[in-house]
Chains A and B, each alone.
Chain A
Amino acid sequence: MLNRIFVALSLVLVMQLAVPMAHAQSASAVSLSGDVKVIRTVDENGTARTVLEEPSQVIPGDRLVFTTRYTNSSAEIVEDFVVTNPLPKAVMLAEDGDFEVSVDGGKTFGRFAALSVTLEDGADRPAELADVTHIRWTLATLTPGQQGSVNYFAVIR
């Protein structure tokens, strides 16, 4: 009798484990593709022109654009699509954009202009670009086949 109960319990456990595993293995409806380019100014016959180049010979002060492309390759409507990008520590957000940011390591998010940082003495000051730790884009829905990209500009610290 005890043995049978044990077997039954084991079966339940296996089934419970199997469900999320099967879920994770299913093809993802959305795929993400990241890219980074360095923004350089080239001189063309006396005219300064801005070009995006592969990130080689990148030095402090250089300006970068990080891009994440998304594709809904499924036949279903994707909802509550939220892209989160932790900033590499070596870069600083160069400018505000159409996204929410976090200045507390990703715990809370809000519009940059509305955020503040609490100083050691307890006082608050407005958040600065250098305080931003994460960026978050929110799209309510992705229709089947919809693709697009989000990006942010950063400067090498």
Chain B
Amino acid sequence: MTYAAFRFAALGGTLCATLAMGSHALAAGIPAGTLIENTASASYNTGGPTQVIDSNTVSFQVAELLDVAVASQDASALPITSTTVLTFSVTNTGNGPEPFVLTANPAVSGNDFDVTIDGLAIDSNGNGVYDAGTDVLLANGGTSASLNPDESITVFVLVTAPGGTTDGQTSQVRLLAEADTGTGTPGDVFTGAGEGGVDAVVGSTGADDDDVGSLISSVATVSLVKSVVITDPFGGTQPVPGAIATFTLSATVVGTGSINDLLITDAIPTSTTYAPGTLTLDTNALTDAADTDAGEASASGVAVNLGTVAAGTTHSVTFQVEID
């Protein structure tokens, strides 16, 4: 029995045993268009000098494998107040240069709210951070430049939150990358569409991939509560002429983040007169003049500029009037 006969007999069993190895998850593999040539040679003798012969050369080209990987690069849900930028990586896991069609979809099942996609951007300077005016913008559904095998780009998705979201609501945005040559089920062939005219074959990813980035609504809201305490000249609480009314304006910021330029104003009620020098903020006196402190007061009303107020804090403004 020769080796050859043994090998032939073993062929069937060997094939079955190794089927599972058919889909190796090689990163990119041998480049598309590579020519594979195999030539065997033999030496022998027939009693004389050693003879050497070559077989014919069998050759074929490696086809282009279409595969892609998309991965969100945000470590956790991004807080969004009005706009933000989601970050994804798109990697050509095929073996030939390929552009990819990039589409962000804001309508993902389970969303509390759906954002608006303002556009996409490619991280042109490769710093991983969206730089407005530097990174090249791409319309949603646009096509990237050609990526070499194993090349990865960072894709930014620019989004705007809708109005009316409440703090803590969540949303997801899905970025889809599809091989420009085409997508399909693994094994589908685009004849002659590969690099250098070889066939392009849809890989295990279906030549597309997607991933979601997460958002959490970050909304701060302010509530203002006004209360009054009256002290009459007789030790009572009746709103009679000469009684002093102490107004308290309590501003509470809830939610996440902060409120900017929070200005509290109130008019002096008719038939009352502002009691000069009674304006306070968080029990600290403020001058009536428009000066360096936060407040000012006059016969017509009071105004206190709280500036930026973080969520979770409360500020109280008080002033007094005398009932005419």
Partner-B contacts on A (CB < 8 A): 23, 28-36, 39-41, 48, 50, 55-63, 65-66, 68, 70, 74, 76-88, 90-91, 94-95, 97-99, 137, 139, 142, 148-151, 153, 155-157
Interchain nearest-CB distance for B49 vs A (Å): 7
Q: Name the prevailing secondary structure of the A interface residues.
A: strand
CA distance A100 to B130 in the complex (A): 57
Give which listed residue, A33, A39, A60, A81, contacts B24 with CB less than 8 A: A60
A29 CA to B45 CA, complexed, in Å = 9
Contact A98-B203, Cβ < 8 Å, known A68-B55, A82-B43:
no
New A-B contacts (5) at CB < 8 Å, excluding given A76-B46, A91-B36, A157-B26: A28-B53, A31-B53, A61-B26, A68-B55, A149-B8
Number of interface residues of B (CB under 8 A): 55
B189 touches A90 (CB 8 A): no
Contact B6 A98, beta carbon cutoff 8 Å = yes
A88 contacts B60, C-beta separation under 8 Å = no
Q: Within 8 Å of chain A (Cβ to Cβ): is B225?
A: no
Cα-based distance from A32 to B56 in the complex (angstroms): 7
Q: Is the interface of B mostly helix, strand, loop or mixed?
A: mixed
**Nearest A residue (CB) for B53:** A28
**A139: B residues at CB distance < 8 A:** 2-3
Does B305 lie at the interface of the complex (its beta carbon under 8 Å from any beta carbon of A)? no
Shortest beta-carbon distance, A145 to chain B, in Å? 14
Contacts of B39 in A (CB 8 A): 34, 85-86
A107 CA to B54 CA, complexed, in Å: 19
Contact between B4 and A59, CB atoms less than 8 A apart = no
Contact A34 B63 (CB under 8 A): no
Cα–Cα distance between A78 and B201 once the two chains are bound (Å):
45
Query: Which one, B16, B18, B23, contacts A94 given CB within 8 A?
Result: B18
Considering the chains assembled together, what is the distance between the CA atoms of A91 and B60 in angstroms? Answer: 12
In contact, A30 and B44 (Cβ under 8 angstroms): yes
Chosen A-B contacts, 8 in total, with CB atoms closer than 8 Å, are A34-B55, A61-B22, A61-B23, A63-B22, A76-B46, A90-B62, A98-B3, A149-B8
Min CB distance, B43 to chain A, in Å?
5
A41-B19, A58-B62, A58-B63 known; A84-B42 Cβ under 8 A: yes
Please determine whether B44 and A58 come into contact, CB atoms closer than 8 angstroms: no
Give the distance to chain A from B299, nearest Cβ to Cβ, in Å. Answer: 84
Is B199 interfacial (CB-CB < 8 Å)? Answer: yes
Asked if residues A33 and B29 are in contact (CB atoms below 8 Å), the reply is no
**What are the 9 tightest A-B residue pairs by CB atom distance, in nearest-first order?**
A60-B29, A61-B24, A148-B4, A32-B55, A55-B60, A34-B55, A68-B40, A85-B40, A59-B65
B14 to chain A, nearest CB (A): 7
The reply to whether A50 and B40 form a contact with Cβ atoms under 8 Å apart is: no
Q: Which of B23, B45, B49 has the most chain A CB atoms closer than 10 A to its own CB?
A: B45
Whether a CB of chain A sits under 8 angstroms from the CB of B57 is yes
Residue B291 interfacial (CB < 8 Å) = no
Q: Contacts A56-B60, A61-B22; is A81 near B44 (CB within 8 Å)? A: yes
B132 part of interface (Cβ distance < 8 Å): no
Give the residue of A39, A57, A90 whose beta carbon is less than 8 angstroms from that of B34: A90
Which B residues are CB-close (under 8 A) to A31? 53
- Whether the pair B44, A142 counts as a contact (CB closer than 8 A) is yes
Knowing A58-B60, A61-B26, A155-B24, the reply to whether A137 touches B3 (Cβ < 8 A) is yes
